[in-house]
Amino acid sequence: MALLRALRGLPEFKRLLELRVVSQFGDGLFQAALAGALLFNPERAASAWAIAGAFAVLFLPYSLLGPFAGALLDRWDRRLVMVGANSVRLLLMLVVATLLAFGAGDLAILCGALIVNGFTRFVSSGLSAALPHVVPREQVVTMNSVATAAGAVATFAGANFMLLPRWLFGSGDTGASVIIFSAAVPVILALWFSIRFKPRALGPDDSRRAVHGSVAYVVATGWGYGLRTVASVPTVAATLTGLASHRVVFGINTLLVLILVRHSGTTDVGGFGTVVLFVAATGLGSFLATLVTPAVVLRWGRYATASWALGLAAVVQLCGAGLHLPVMTVCGFLLGALGQVVKLCADTAMQMDVDDALRGHVFTVQDSLFWVSFIGAISAAASVIPDDGHSTGLAVAGSVVYLLGLAGHVTIGRRARPATPPV
């Protein structure tokens, strides 16, 4: 009841929440349709290297260019940026659906999809950077958790909604194109919700730390300002180190599950449903973590909360080393929760400890780190994983990565503790 009363008193946050929900529902539907079209399509084949290559083409280009483009979130009206990004995202989504309908090759589809993903992540970074403009500082942690939880549910709902048209229209290219055409509907709503905001309502502020100069200069220095800001704020650097370790392990586990399922010989709705179940368990863990993290952070502080989450994750990862899919699904649930705790601590650090004039820079650096870690892990794992996916060593290596992330978080985070509140 208290949360509902708080939401009623924050009308602009409610609008931002509506925008996030429809945007992430469309993204969940699009990503699931794309995965089904490329990885679980009887008309197409996918080896470990093909899976790694697909992820690299889809996410790596924007991950490297994002911080350059993300600088515009701190230069231009974020409302206009999201209107433009959603417009281009909509048009290109229709192009990808058309390519699938005509049976185009993987490369053409991936190139179209990577641009769609780039603009989707641009919108996501803008939403996170804008949140402190519509929420009082003392409510940032709670409302960030609400926004993240709502977004996670929307993504999960979109991904699972995909199973119905896949069952109705088939698992081939035609069925995938129908699903992506339907994903345009929530993107149209996201575009409309973006337009409803007043000019400059979402920032950025023109503070003394704002980056001035031409647009070309702002874009060219995006990575530099973003990295320098991360390095100068220990609370941010510490939690991003822990978050990177979680994404590395998530990449390893994702490839293990995909190869194990494909090796079973099921690429139809049932086989794809196994993968969706794993992703759903991870998403459910993430969702539940958003509900409890504010209370845990209030009790223990961001530094201790993230440290404990990383330590427990190392133990959970070892429990799944037997590579039994039911056990891995349970571990996925727990790791999803623990990883989301670390991400929420990172988001809060960026929203509260970074000047608004540089917040867009830092969120796009986080987004790049998020995906580069994931793709790098999948690529490295693809080089050693056996054809049947059974590699206990990879699972154990994931536990070691969590411990390295914990060590980095503890070491960097200690720099912030004497002078500022816990990470």
In angstroms, the CA 53 to CA 379 distance is: 8
What pLDDT is recorded for position 238? 95
Domain ranges for the chain: 13-197+226-413
Q: Are 7 and 14 in contact (CB under 8 A)?
A: yes
What pLDDT is recorded for position 421? 45
What pLDDT is recorded for position 310? 97
Alpha-carbon distances, residue 387 vs 28, 106, 255, 399 (angstroms): 29, 22, 11, 22
What pLDDT is recorded for position 422? 45
Q: Describe the crossing of helices 78-101 and 173-195 by its angle, rounded to 10 degrees.
A: 160
Contacts of the segment 225-231: beta carbons below 8 A, 24+ positions apart: 225/71, 225/358, 225/361, 226/67, 226/70, 226/71, 226/358, 226/361, 226/362, 226/364, 226/365, 227/67, 227/365, 229/354, 229/358, 229/361, 229/362, 229/365, 230/362, 230/365
Q: What is the mean pLDDT of each run of 10 residues along the chain (423 residues)?
A: 70 93 94 76 60 73 70 83 93 93 82 86 86 87 86 86 79 83 94 92 73 64 81 93 96 90 58 73 88 90 94 96 90 95 92 85 85 91 86 94 96 68 46
- For CA atoms 190, 85, 196, 2, the dihedral sign is positive
CATH architecture of the domain 13-197+226-413 equals Up-down Bundle (1.20)
In angstroms, the CA 348 to CA 302 distance is: 9
